[in-house]
Amino acid sequence: MSDFRVYSDIPRIMVPTAAPNRQPSGSSFAKLLNEAVQQVNDVEKRSQGELQKFLSNESDLHSVMIALEKADLSFQVMMQVRNKIVQAYQELMKSQV
């Protein structure tokens, strides 16, 4: 059930809209992106750890393949999100003020 960790983290990372005494800052989006990249990096490190365990005969092939596929899928999703952000930025730059 740890596969659903991303879904359980959503309430933690979403900021309530009516937060009193909150100063406006642009760092919340940057913080959200930084946390997402850090999570992808953690998944990659765990998959490398599983691979090392397999090479030293401490783990089975199924665990290694699952960890590697999770890391690959996480990276692909992160790249698609990055592409969408870049595309949105380029659209904003095309618009006339």
- In the predicted model, is pLDDT for residue 32 greater than 80? yes
Backbone angles phi, psi at 21, to 5 degrees: 60, 30
Contact of 74 with 44, CB cutoff 8 Å: yes
- Per the document, the length of the chain is 97
Residue-wise burial string across 35-52, b where 16 or more C-beta atoms lie within 10 A, e elsewhere: ebeeebeebbeebeebbe
pLDDT tens figures, 2-27: 555 555 555 555 445 555 555 555 57
The residue type found at 40 is: V
Specify the amino acid at residue 82.
Answer: R
Helices assigned H by DSSP within 1-97: 5-13, 27-55, 61-94
The predicted-structure confidence for 67-80, as pLDDT tens digits, reads as follows 999 999 999 999 99
pTM tops 0.85: no
Residue found under tokens 């940057």: 30
Share of the chain above pLDDT 70, in %: 73
